[in-house]
Every structure is written in structure tokens, then in C-alpha cells.
């Protein structure tokens, strides 16, 4: 009977093969092996993989084990070929080869176990690694690459219940950013004095509070090089966070721009008073500004998970390519955290 099943499979006579396999005793492992081969031949790859793996978990001898491993390899080779074909189609046009970023969104902890198994299959990583990659809060910059490829993965992940989105670097670069110097007036509609991020040109910008749909907040660390001693007492130089710059972006999608407030650039001694006492501390001045924004923007969505996002993003920003951060903090060297904040705010504005 075994030979008859082999002949039927070779002839692709799957109906006869199925009938013969059903006649094989349940305790005969060859019947299970033939069943896996039939499932693979009929493109039931998940069932076939499960059947072959079940055989490998038992000690049925070297012949069964070798045949099961061969069956698994054929399934993996087929999956790799399909994957490669999809990748080729996903990057077939110049638009699809633009550099982009794939962002993973948060999932509740109780949903991550199942999601991690699906993520592992799609992205070809270990389930434990997949679970660590899926954020429980905020966003993770997971991958940088051709936008067509990222969109393909994104669709597969979305179908598996793993929320994500992707944007191109070109989309980020197209956004207009105005650095706010101060509020000139609040009524009848607010008017702000703005400059470019190098503070070389200024102008006025008028808007309505109702046009602001989102607010993005974040603390950008300011690093300084300090001298410290290692455990052996030797002097060594290292970077240390000395302070933080406070940022708040307002998104005006109808005008296609971002209004950027940050404590190092805002001129608290100009325009509309923000505190009752002149020359308050920088913290009190910033609190006065954020209170004004909060009072006038109860309808705006607030994004405030910048730090967790930046920790996943700063090491990949070089892969994304050069883009302007529109931040001009007084530093000895530029920091990737500036770009990370601009990217975070841009993603919030561009997110579908």
C-alpha cells in the first residue's frame, strides 16, 4: 500500500492518494508522513508543516525523520520563493523604492503572545524576539527600507492584527515647520511671530485654535561630554545628560504646517504675558505657555510618548537618510534626538 500511495502522489492523483492514506492504520507513522506530503502537494502548507513537525517530535526512526525534514525544507523553500516574488513586485516602480519607515503601534500585553507568533512568521524572527519588538505603549521604529517593501509587510502585519503604518522620508521632508518666537495677540484669533529654525528671518502667522488638531510633546536631552572615573579609577570621557529641552508642536493640517514651541527658542519676555511675574524661572514660563495651550486646545489629540519612540529610533536614523530637524539647540555637536523628535511629530501628522 505504501508504494501505491507514493505512485499516486507522483502522478498527482490526490483523490486516490487521500483514499489510500485513510486506509493506513493510525499507528503507522508512514501514513502521517504521506498525509503531510499530500497536504503540501495541495498547498495546505500550514497543515503540512504541523504534520511534519509532529512526526519529528516522536522517535519513528531515521527514515521518517529525514523524510519529515525534507518535507519541511520544501515548504520553507516554497515560502521563501513566494516571499521573494512579492518583494520584487512590491519594489517594481521608482515610487516603491523611496526610502521609508515602518512603525509598529502598541498592543495590549494580553494580545502580544498570539501576535508575536504571527509577527515571527511574517518577519522571520524568533517568537521571543517578536514579542520584545511589539510595543506595549507608544510606537516603535521597526524598519527602514523601500516603502513598497514596508507597505507589503505592513499589510501582512495588519491582517494578522498587528497595527502599524509607514511613511516615506519625502513625506516628512515636505512638511512645513514654523518656529514660534512668541504670541503677538490671542484675540480675535491668535497671531504668533515665527522664524526659520536658524532664527534668521521672522514673520507673523495667524490661525484659529479650531484648526489645531494635534499637540505633540516631548523632552529632548541635552548631552555634554564629561570626565568620569571607571571602576579602576582611570579617567575617561563620556556623554551625560545635563538637561532637557521642552518641546510642544501644534499640527494645522489644513494649512499643511507645524507650529513648533520650545523653551530654548521662545521669547518669554515678548508678546502676550504668560506669567503674572516678570522674569519668572524658565520652568514657570514654560508652564505658563503650556497652560495657555491647554486652555485653548481641549479638542486636540495629545501625543506624549516621544521618549520611548526615540529610544528605538536614534540608532536607525542614519539608515533613513538626511533630513532637517528644524531644531536649533545650543550644542557642541548635533544630536540624533533632534531628528527623532521631528520624525515623531511628523509621524503623528502623517499617520493615516
Residues 6+ apart with CB under 8 A from 51: 32, 35, 36, 39
Distance CA 261, CA 267 (A): 10
Distance CA 133, CA 256 (A): 32
H-run or E-run covering 14: helix 14-22
- pTM of the model as a whole: 0.81
Residues 6+ apart with CB under 8 A from 251: 212, 213, 214, 215, 216, 258, 345, 348, 349
Distance CA 314, CA 100 (A): 15
For the chain, give every residue range classified as CATH 3.30.1390.
94-171
Give the helix ranges, DSSP H, for 91-142. Answer: 109-123, 127-133
Distance CA 54, CA 32 (A): 9
Q: Give yes or no for a contact between 91 and 148, defined as CB atoms under 8 angstroms apart.
A: yes
CATH number, domain 2-89: 1.25.40
* Triad 266, 270, 274: Cα angle to 5°: 75
- Name the class of domain 94-171: alpha beta
Cβ neighbourhood burial of 233 (10 Å; 0-12, 13-18, 19+): exposed
> Rg of the chain's alpha carbons, rounded to an integer?
29
For every residue of 200-256, DSSP letters joined together read --EEEEE--GGG--EEEEEEEEEEEEEEEE-TTS-EEEEEEEEEEEEEEEEEETTTT
pLDDT tens string, the chain, 352 residues long: the values are 778 888 788 888 888 888 888 888 878 888 888 888 889 889 888 899 998 999 888 888 888 899 899 989 999 888 888 888 887 788 889 889 999 999 999 999 899 999 999 999 999 899 999 999 999 999 999 999 999 999 999 999 999 999 999 999 999 999 999 999 999 999 889 999 999 766 667 899 999 999 999 999 999 998 766 556 667 666 666 566 677 899 999 999 999 999 999 998 999 999 998 876 666 688 889 999 999 999 999 999 999 999 999 999 999 999 999 899 999 887 777 789 999 999 999 999 999 8
Give the helix ranges, DSSP H, for 124-194. Answer: 127-133, 147-159, 169-174
Distance CA 126, CA 142 (A): 15
Distance CA 79, CA 123 (A): 12
Number of other residues whose CB lies within 10 A of the CB of residue 136: 12
Omega prior to 188 cis, within 30 of 0? yes
- CA 113 → CA 46, 105, 110, 128, distances in Å? 19, 15, 7, 9
For the chain, give every residue range classified as CATH 1.25.40.
2-89
Amino acid at each position: 500500500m505504501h508504494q501505491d500511495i507514493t505512485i499516486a502522489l507522483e502522478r498527482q492523483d490526490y483523490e486516490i492518494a487521500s483514499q489510500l492514506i485513510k486506509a493506513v492504520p493510525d499507528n503507522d507513522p508512514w501514513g502521517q508522513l504521506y498525509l503531510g506530503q499530500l497536504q503540501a502537494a495541495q498547498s495546505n502548507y500550514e497543515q503540512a508543516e504541523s504534520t511534519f513537525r509532529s512526526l519529528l517530535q516522536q522517535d519513528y526512526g531515521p527514515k521518517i525523520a529525514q523524510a519529515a525534514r525534507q518535507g519541511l525544507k520544501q515548504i520553507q523553500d516554497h515560502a521563501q520563493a513566494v516571499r521573494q516574488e512579492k518583494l520584487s513586485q512590491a519594489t517594481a516602480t521608482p515610487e516603491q523604492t523611496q526610502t521609508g519607515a515602518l512603525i509598529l503601534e502598541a498592543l495590549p500585553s494580553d494580545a502580544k503572545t498570539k501576535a508575536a507568533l504571527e509577527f515571527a512568521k511574517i518577519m522571520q524572527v524568533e517568537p521571543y524576539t517578536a514579542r520584545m519588538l511589539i510595543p506595549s505603549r507608544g510606537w516603535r521604529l521597526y524598519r527602514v527600507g523601500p516603502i513598497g517593501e514596508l507597505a507589503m509587510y505592513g499589510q501582512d502585519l495588519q491582517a494578522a492584527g498587528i497595527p502599524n503604518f509607514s511613511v516615506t522620508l519625502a513625506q516628512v521632508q515636505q512638511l512645513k515647520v514654523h518656529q514660534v518666537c512668541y504670541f503677538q495677540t490671542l484675540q480675535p484669533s491668535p497671531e504668533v511671530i515665527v522664524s526659520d529654525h536658524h532664527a534668521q528671518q521672522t514673520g507673523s502667522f495667524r490661525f484659529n485654535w479650531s484648526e489645531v488638531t494635534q499637540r505633540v510633546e516631548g523632552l529632548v536631552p541635552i548631552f555634554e561630554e564629561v570626565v568620569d572615573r571607571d571602576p579602576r579609577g582611570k579617567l575617561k570621557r563620556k556623554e551625560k545628560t545635563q538637561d532637557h529641552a521642552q518641546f510642544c508642536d501644534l499640527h494645522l493640517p489644513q494649512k499643511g504646517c507645524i507650529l513648533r514651541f520650545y523653551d530654548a527658542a521662545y521669547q518669554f519676555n515678548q508678546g502676550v504675558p504668560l506669567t503674572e511675574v516678570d522674569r519668572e524661572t524658565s520652568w514657570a514660563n514654560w508652564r505658563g505657555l503650556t497652560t495657555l495651550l491647554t486652555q485653548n486646545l481641549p479638542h486636540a489629540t495629545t501625543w506624549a510618548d516621544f521618549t520611548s519612540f526615540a529610544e528605538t529610533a536614534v540608532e536607525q536614523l542614519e539608515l533613513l537618510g538626511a533630513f532637517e530637524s528644524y531644531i536649533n539647540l545650543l550644542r557642541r555637536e548635533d544630536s540624533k534626538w533632534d531628528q527623532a523628535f521631528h520624525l515623531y511629530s511628523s509621524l503623528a501628522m502623517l499617520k493615516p
